[in-house]
Amino acid sequence: MHTMLVGQRSLATQRRGRHVSGSSAHPDRMAPDLAVALIYDYTQPGDLAVDPFAGVGTTLAEAVRGGRDAYGVEYDPGWVALARANLALARRQSGIGHGQIVRGDVTRLPAAPRRELRGRASLVLTAPPSSATMPVSPRSSARHNRVDLMDGITAALEECVPLLNPNGLIVVVSRSSRRTPVLLDAVAADLSLLAVRHAAYATMRAGRLVAGRHHVDGIRYDDILVLRPRRGRRP
Ligand SMILES: C[S@@+](CC[C@H](N)C(=O)[O-])C[C@H]1O[C@@H](n2cnc3c(N)ncnc32)[C@H](O)[C@@H]1O
């Protein structure tokens, strides 16, 4: 089994100079070293990477730093503003890739990206939200603007499938304890599971392991699910 070690540098070190101030308010950011490793594993320079749950834009910014193009969607306007600033920072630092983040509900992609990005993405790389429900745009009634997390992730992945090119992959990162719901979602969205990888982080302070909220014996594990649309589901 392949475990990616992405905690050799502390998260603070990984983020220094890569995230604008204020980004640390986001409770669930991806480790930049993990985003970089996955982007380099699954894309080439010039490719398009999409993050439907973009948060403060960690994956988008790392794609742009690596000379890829990036497109992201995020529901919360505050995170969108920070993601925009993080993307601008990455663009100033690398000067190669182009990134765009839009405020919206990824379970209902706006018509423009749906049309313009169709068949273009090499990678959908994302860490879905973690609460029991997630916000969506009101459908029939303004009172029903949250859906069960699993339904929401399934809808989001289904919206992303048409954006993939014929070799495109979906890579979902989630804490190990959340694997089952994500897997169930993947199946519901009619995706094949190609690989399960793991990422391990250990936080060290003064030479000692520091136990965090999601750590087992001082180490936090994330599951990385590598998925692709089943045959017949291609756009
Ligand atoms: C785990 S966080 C992603 C963090 C991101 N990888 C980063 O490093 O900043 C999941 C994000 O999904 C967003 N979200 C939840 N529901 C959404 C929806 N329907 N459409 C778009 N984004 C949504 C949340 O606001 C949250 O920022």
* For the chain, domain boundaries: 3-209+219-229
Using CA atoms, how far apart are residues 55 and 131, in angstroms rounded to an integer? 14
User: 169-211: per-residue pLDDT in tens?
Assistant: 999 998 766 655 666 666 666 888 888 898 887 766 677 766 6
| Class at the top of the CATH hierarchy for domain 3-209+219-229 | alpha beta
Ligand 1 pocket check: which of 28, 39, 124 to mutate, most ligand atoms within 8 Å of Cβ?
28
Q: The tokens 């965090």 sit on which residue?
A: 212
Using CA atoms, how far apart are residues 123 and 130, in angstroms rounded to an integer? 21
Using CA atoms, how far apart are residues 210 and 200, in angstroms rounded to an integer? 14
Taking alpha carbons only, the member of 38, 2, 3, 1 closest to residue 221 is 3
Average pLDDT, the chain: 87
Ligand 1 lining (C-beta closer than 6 Å): 26, 28-30, 53, 55-56, 58-59, 73-76, 79, 105-107, 127, 129-130, 134-136, 152
Using CA atoms, how far apart are residues 179 and 197, in angstroms rounded to an integer? 11
pTM for the complete prediction?
A: 0.92
Using CA atoms, how far apart are residues 50 and 109, in angstroms rounded to an integer? 12
Token pair in block for residue 173 = 């990162």
